[in-house]
Amino acid sequence: MSLLVTGSIGIDTVTTPFGKSTNCIGGSAVYFSMAASHFSPVRFVGVIGNDCPFDLHEVFKGRDVDLAGLEVRSESKTFRWQGSYVGDMSNAMTDSVELNVLAETPPTLPHQFADSKYVFLANTHPALQIQLLNRLSRPKFVAADTMNCWIENYATELKELLSKIDAIIINEGEARMITQKDNLAAAASEIRKMGPKVVIIKKGEHGSISIDADGNWIVIPSYPSAEVKDPTGAGDSFAGAMIGYLASVDKIDAESLKKAIAYGTVTASFAIEGFSLTTISETNREIIDQRLEMLRKITGF
């Protein structure tokens, strides 16, 4: 089933206790697409400037990622982010950010993408997320991400977005900001009342907690990765694998959602084991399935 993602393409510089990766490829749409491509064909919508050093066709070579929605603007510069992690690397510190092309009008949605059934609106201004959503004909499942600056400064637009989507995928800090509730179960229930049928709250190394359309709870621990080098892109990799799996089975019932979240969990565990796309691009579905089975064994009782 058709899967569409729209989000950022970035030039990242990341510093962690394990080293530094300078001017590497990043961005929410990139991580999402790489993870999702292990499960489903992907329709990619994003924009870069003429300074982008990466050939996205080479990045996704051998993967079913349709780049018809990739726009290159000759007079613009690509989004840049520089961040660092310390200690347990649970939170990224933004050292510098250059929005560049992301501060301009969003990329055009190719007409052949308008019939996409599964959609991920990666983190950007909620007004832009709504704008793209309104261009789609009849999507079956729409999920979105957001972040603290949109929650703080664009609450009205965010509430409108929440009323239009099927699922929201956020971290625990964002869930608390939206609801002003410390208890995550209470926060998830409150957000569900705002519109999304499914609320997924990521808790980093502590896994995730979710509530579905029927009020069923899903609690899945993280996969115990012994070597964490770079957490950048873990959340988008989680979303990519999760929604990629749902698109592949074309089901969004409770059992499918639970398995999708588990797939998101183990796929994200590959992303954090290397800088940029190093490890998540080198894995494959067979290896992901093996890790899923291991997660199932160690969490069964």
214 CB burial (10 A radius; 0-12, 13-18, 19+): exposed
71 contacts: CB under 8 Å, gap ≥ 6? 46, 47, 48, 107, 108
pLDDT for position 90: 78
Per-residue model confidence (pLDDT) at position 87: 84
Domain ranges, residue 236 = 3-85+92-299
DSSP secondary structure letters along 23-68 = EEEE-HHHHHHHHHTTTS-EEEEEEEETT----HHHHTTTS-EEEE
Domain count, the chain: 1
Burial of 8 (0-12, 13-18, 19+ CB in 10 A): buried
Instruction: State which amino acid sits at residue 82.
Output: Q
Please report the pLDDT score of residue 226 as a whole number: 80
pLDDT tens profile 173-207: 999 999 999 999 999 999 999 999 999 999 988 89
Q: Phi and psi (nearest 5°) for 132?
A: -70, -40
Helices of type H across the chain? 28-36, 56-59, 126-133, 148-153, 155-162, 172-179, 184-193, 234-249, 254-271, 278-282, 285-299
For position 127, what pLDDT does the model report? 87
For the chain, give percent helix, strand, coil, nearest 5: 40, 25, 35
**If phi over 0 gives left and psi between -120 and 50 gives alpha, with beta otherwise, what is residue 2?**
beta
Residue stretches of the chain with pLDDT short of 70: none
Q: Count of H helices and E strands in the chain?
A: 11, 13
The pLDDT of residue 188: 96
Sign of the four-CA dihedral 232, 234, 237, 239: negative
Domain CATH code at residue 116: 3.40.1190.20
Enter the pTM of the model: 0.94
Q: What is d(CA 261, CA 252) in angstroms, rounded to the nearest whole number?
A: 11
**Beta-carbon contacts of residue 67 (< 8 Å; ≥ 6 apart):** 44, 56, 57, 60
Q: Which residues of 32-62 are buried (b: 16+ CB within 10 A; e: fewer)?
A: bbbbbbbbbbbbbbbbbbeebebebeebbee
Q: Check residue 124 and give its pLDDT.
A: 82
Q: At what angle do helices 184-193 and 172-179 cross, to 10 degrees?
A: 60
